[in-house]
């Protein structure tokens, strides 16, 4: 039960940090964990119909039905808390700022440069001509 309370508090209280991306990510992970825990509890618990099948008809076991109802409510609570927390975390997040566009233009001075002259005795690389 303490683990359920800890998961719920992390999922719901971590959404209070919309300005910090790291804490927002941790909140989303906690809320996802809450949803998964609720689904796992709902998948594992016995339903009331299972309790009726396990015991004798003459004396039904009411503790099995009570336990199934309590765990069913806890699982549903975890799922709903995770969904509401996730929606709150997403809706309170700031929009990411778009970087300003930068125009890159070629420098006009590069065309005005004089050709490179090699020192005496140094041969330049041969330029390959395409074969026809």
- pLDDT recorded at residue 65: 75
Residue 111 has what pLDDT? 58
Q: Determine the structural domain holding residue 57 and report its residue range.
A: 2-92
Report, in angstroms and rounded to the nearest whole number, the Rg of the chain calculated over CA atoms: 34
Burial bucket for residue 11 (CB in 10 Å: 0-12, 13-18, 19+): buried
Residue 43 lies in a domain: yes
78 within a domain of the structure (yes/no): yes
Q: Is the pLDDT of residue 115 over 80?
A: no
Higher pLDDT pick, 23 / 2: 23
For residue 72, tell me if it sits in a domain: yes
What sign has the CA pseudo-torsion 117, 118, 123, 126?
negative
Choose the most confident range, by mean pLDDT, from 5-9, 81-85, 113-117.
81-85
pTM value is 0.56
Question: pLDDT-derived band of residue 21, with 50, 70 and 90 as boundaries?
Answer: confident
120 within domain boundaries = no
- Spatial separation of the C-alpha atoms in residues 26 and 109, rounded to whole Å: 52
Instruction: Please state the domain count of the chain.
Output: 1
């Amino acid at each position: 039960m303490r683990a359920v309370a800890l998961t719920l508090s992390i999922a719901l209280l971590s959404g209070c940090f919309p300005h910090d991306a790291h804490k927002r990510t941790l909140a989303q992970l906690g809320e996802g964990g809450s949803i998964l825990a609720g689904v796992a509890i709902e998948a594992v618990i016995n339903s009331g119909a299972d309790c009726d099948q396990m015991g004798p008809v003459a004396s039904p076991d009411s503790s099995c039905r009570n336990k199934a109802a309590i765990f069913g409510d806890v699982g549903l609570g975890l799922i709903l808390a995770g969904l509401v927390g996730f929606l709150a975390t997403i809706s309170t997040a700031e929009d990411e700022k778009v970087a300003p566009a930068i125009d890159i233009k070629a420098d006009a001075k590069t065309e005005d440069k004089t050709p490179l002259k090699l020192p005496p005795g140094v041969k330049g690389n041969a330029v390959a001509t395409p074969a026809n």
